[in-house]
Chains A and B, each alone.
Chain A
């Protein structure tokens, strides 16, 4: 196991995209210390910013970060194997374009968690920012597979342009969850701020908490007692809505009936 601790508090953003389990396999500790990374606009050795230690007898492809990592971006970008464990808060673009492996964050994460990821698991014990599992600006290809598990709250536009995989949020989410979604599943156990599944084409969003209103472009379909997310049964009852009709979408929203009495007006259309 490779352990990294920051030497000082950082002011400028640090791009740590090069330090992934795939890159450290069969590398000696001296080779890892001389990795070149970007600190703001300076290209420096990894050793100048982090204290690095390596336990000889453990598995090679695990990286352990400790300390304040809020300025550090792109941890685990494009990784395809191994495990990254982070004790503390972490900066944006965690696990960008990830292809496999596991990232566990014992703290909060900033925006763009698992953006454009293909496979693997990201688990965040705290809150996350906006655009989890989203696409890069101007791209229409967001998260394609894998799983993002958030135990805290999430920000706006999670699962934007999502094309597969699962996002599981235990807390509340902001607006536009699953906007432009085209396959995949989002499960929100807390409340949503609204505009759920705007302009979605396919996919499934389940909300167990409250939602202020449904967009006028969704039509009510049914009331179901339970639903399934990756083999696990979720107890309802749920209103199901189909949309976004304005985009000829066939996406499905499952909204908790017990927490949303104001949606009773839709029952006359059933």
Chain B
């Protein structure tokens, strides 16, 4: 047809992919981290709310071969946190006692200078994951790049000429840099808080460079916290089919790639489309308003098992079966490991799977093209 094919990574981890083109990535599978990682850093991500099974299956709360689970520490910290909350509530109710204002960033706890599994959260606000971490570092919004670059300087034993970076005093940064160097296997999990803040793909560029620098001193890895179900799979398949992971433009008969020019949000914003096909995703609730209004004013076809804001606004809706419940299939985990999905129940009669529906459309498109030629 000569259209443009894009997937949901364009609104989540597209910047990570663009930066990997520039500097590469040193990553691994989650099994490695479960058994070996002793310093786990969540940067701009909130796994307790967004990836609920991640902590207990792959990192701090699971017992690996060489690392112990940190459940005991978690329970203690939660108790302390709850007691803190209760005390502050009492203090507020008691007249005449002023609430003590805690410093924004405290120094590193003693645990970071011992062996054993540690968890650190770096974010702009105190999330649920930050509450259960051993250490929480609060950065000023949109200052992640400066912080990463400061860490890169400290790891090279260079002195900083400023007193604080991104709202964090340099003394604390020096302690954290020591902790980064002294771990035996560290990992940075970064989320949309890093990819979509000011600087976008250059933040990831710097984070990967930080990991590259750290690998000269110890073993360090980095991994994106991928969001949408099987978005990694669509990246992988798109790469081995077309050569490019997302935003692939086929309009001139061969795949071309230039996010910003061929990515779906930019195309919709410039109003360059005349029809849309959405498969199992929800652009109406994720895209900017301008792009959404341009998407729905043209003919829109939705192939989706569930009712979404997009399918409500579509001209044609083709309901399909759920993969992993009513049809078998393959989904890629966030560390690029393909997992087979089993069928559990029979689908309603006459309901096609995504694959069957698309194959039928493809056959019809090919027949029409032949007639045109």
Query: CB of A24 within 8 A of chain B?
Result: no
Closest chain B CB from A126 CB (angstroms): 18
In contact, A179 and B161 (Cβ under 8 angstroms) = no
The one of A38, A220, A244 in contact with B161, judged by C-beta atoms closer than 8 angstroms, is A220
Residues on B with beta carbons closer than 8 Å to the beta carbon of A195: 145-146, 199, 202
Would you give 19 A-B contacts (Cβ < 8 Å), ordered by A? A12-B272, A13-B272, A40-B251, A41-B251, A111-B261, A130-B260, A137-B18, A138-B22, A157-B202, A176-B199, A176-B202, A180-B22, A195-B146, A216-B150, A216-B160, A216-B161, A246-B156, A246-B158, A265-B162
The interface size bin for chain B is: 35 or more
Query: CB of B198 within 8 A of chain A?
Result: yes
In contact, B18 and A217 (Cβ under 8 angstroms) = no
In contact, B165 and A216 (Cβ under 8 angstroms) = yes
Closest 4 A/B residue pairs (Cβ) = A41-B2, A138-B21, A246-B152, A41-B251
Residues on A with beta carbons closer than 8 Å to the beta carbon of B199: 175-176, 195
Alpha-carbon gap, A12 to B267, bound state (A): 9
> Which single residue of chain A is at the shortest CB-CB distance from B200?
A156
> Which single residue of chain B is at the shortest CB-CB distance from A218?
B161
The one of B153, B161, B271 in contact with A11, judged by C-beta atoms closer than 8 angstroms, is B271
> Which single residue of chain A is at the shortest CB-CB distance from B155?
A246
In contact, A199 and B1 (Cβ under 8 angstroms) = no
Name the interface residues of A110-161: CB closer than 8 Å to any CB of B. Answer: 111-112, 130-131, 136-138, 140, 157
The answer to whether A246 and B209 touch (CB under 8 A), given A11-B272, A41-B2, A176-B199, is yes
Name the interface residues of B23-52: CB closer than 8 Å to any CB of A. Answer: none
Interface set of A (CB-CB < 8 Å, partner B): 11-13, 15, 38, 40-41, 71, 73, 92-93, 111-112, 130-131, 136-138, 140, 157, 175-176, 179-180, 195, 198-199, 213, 215-217, 219-220, 244-247, 265-266, 269
Alpha-carbon gap, A131 to B260, bound state (A): 11
Query: CB of B329 within 8 A of chain A?
Result: no
Closest chain B CB from A34 CB (angstroms): 19
The answer to whether A199 and B209 touch (CB under 8 A), given A41-B251, A217-B149, is yes
Residues on B with beta carbons closer than 8 Å to the beta carbon of A247: 209
Residues on A with beta carbons closer than 8 Å to the beta carbon of B346: none
Residues on B with beta carbons closer than 8 Å to the beta carbon of A73: 261
Alpha-carbon gap, A136 to B18, bound state (A): 11
Query: CB of B3 within 8 A of chain A?
Result: yes
In contact, A15 and B252 (Cβ under 8 angstroms) = yes
Name the interface residues of B88-104: CB closer than 8 Å to any CB of A. Answer: none
Residues on A with beta carbons closer than 8 Å to the beta carbon of B252: 15, 38, 41
Query: CB of B205 within 8 A of chain A?
Result: yes
In contact, B271 and A266 (Cβ under 8 angstroms) = no
Residues on A with beta carbons closer than 8 Å to the beta carbon of B213: 246
Closest chain A CB from B82 CB (angstroms): 38
In contact, A216 and B259 (Cβ under 8 angstroms) = no
Query: What mask results when residues 258 to 286 of chain B are scored 1 for a CB within 8 Å of chain A, else 0?
Result: 11110000000011101000000000000
Residues on B with beta carbons closer than 8 Å to the beta carbon of A92: 261
Residues on B with beta carbons closer than 8 Å to the beta carbon of A137: 18, 21, 257-259
Query: CB of B180 within 8 A of chain A?
Result: no
Alpha-carbon gap, A131 to B261, bound state (A): 12
Residues on A with beta carbons closer than 8 Å to the beta carbon of B258: 136-137
Residues on A with beta carbons closer than 8 Å to the beta carbon of B158: 245-246
Residues on B with beta carbons closer than 8 Å to the beta carbon of A41: 1-3, 250-252
Closest chain B CB from A115 CB (angstroms): 10
Query: CB of B214 within 8 A of chain A?
Result: no
Closest chain A CB from B134 CB (angstroms): 26
Besides A199-B206, A216-B161, 6 new A-B residue pairs in contact (Cβ under 8 A), listed by A number: A41-B3, A198-B145, A216-B149, A217-B150, A217-B153, A246-B152
Query: What mask results when residues 1 to 21 of chain B are scored 1 for a CB within 8 Å of chain A, else 0?
Result: 111000000000000001001
> Which single residue of chain B is at the shortest CB-CB distance from A198?
B202
Alpha-carbon gap, A30 to B161, bound state (A): 66
Alpha-carbon gap, A71 to B270, bound state (A): 9
Residues on B with beta carbons closer than 8 Å to the beta carbon of A93: 261
Alpha-carbon gap, A41 to B274, bound state (A): 12
Alpha-carbon gap, A92 to B162, bound state (A): 39
The one of A130, A138, A180, A216 in contact with B153, judged by C-beta atoms closer than 8 angstroms, is A216
Residues on A with beta carbons closer than 8 Å to the beta carbon of B206: 198-199
